[in-house]
Chains A and B, each alone.
Chain A
């Protein structure tokens, strides 16, 4: 079976995100004064061939832990759908 994973990798909350901070301040320049705490991460999509959704989840989890995210500085979450 084929599955599609949509993965979000984000800088950990305790880590300063200078990119997000710069974007936050430009929101004020845009007049969007109620938008704050912008944080910027990565979105990764990928396809997996697996016997079951559980197996697909396991594989994506391994990919995230070992390569797609660095758990010292990032956290990750993902969703999986059959395609």
Chain B
């Protein structure tokens, strides 16, 4: 399996993602520059975190029109696996690849801290091996992570089991206090209707190395590997 991590001007979590995929998980990884259009035969594409194009206009709004995105959108529309983390999630929403939008945090503050999230379903490539009762400690680092969608779309997300993660407290309770950015119903991650495109605000790649004293994020990568290699 070959993983591709897209690099936009202003991406800053690309190297962390590559480190985890390559050095922790032993996978083949290539960097894909945003001006290229060749996905180099990758089986799984990641849009990493950062501040693509300085978050000008809206987070992800400009990156969504980078040349590589034409190939990425085509890849996803044909069922290819695509994960967007943080700014990558924002780019996915701007491209219409997953439902919803990410508004400014209700506090208007950039929040960089460990939070807890709980997988809402095992029916996805990125959550299939995660214990649904366990709160995972994963960091967030964003100013615009307040997930929003209209009531009809929310109902569709619920009915079709497309909500992947909720913010929760350390015991796994989904509470208003544990919802750091004000997201609708504590939503921290979703997938598309085809279940091949995944977006999440928390950074699993920042919680996947023993040296960081937190490997909760590995559960997400291990879920991916379990199915990708089965």
Contact = CB atoms under 8 A, between A and B. Distances in A.
Of the four ranges (under 10, 10 to 19, 20 to 34, 35 or more), the interface on chain B belongs to: 10 to 19
Interface stretch (A13-21, A28-36, A45-53): A13-21
A19 B100 CA distance: 21
Interface stretch (A54-62, A64-72, A75-83): A64-72
A22 interface: yes
Interface in B60-101: 61, 65, 93-94, 100-101
Contacts of A68: 57
A47 to B, nearest CB: 18
Contacts of A67: 57, 61, 65
B58 A70 contact: yes
Given A15-B148, A67-B61, A68-B57, A73 B101 contact: yes
Contacts of B101: 70, 72-73
B103 interface: yes
Nearest to A44: B57
Interface of A: 11, 15-16, 18-19, 22, 67-68, 70, 72-73
Interface of B: 57-58, 61, 65, 93-94, 100-101, 103-104, 106-108, 148-150, 182
29 contacts: A11-B103, A15-B103, A15-B148, A16-B106, A16-B182, A18-B104, A18-B106, A18-B107, A18-B108, A19-B104, A19-B108, A22-B108, A67-B57, A67-B61, A67-B65, A68-B57, A70-B58, A70-B61, A70-B94, A70-B101, A72-B93, A72-B100, A72-B101, A72-B148, A72-B149, A72-B150, A73-B101, A73-B103, A73-B148
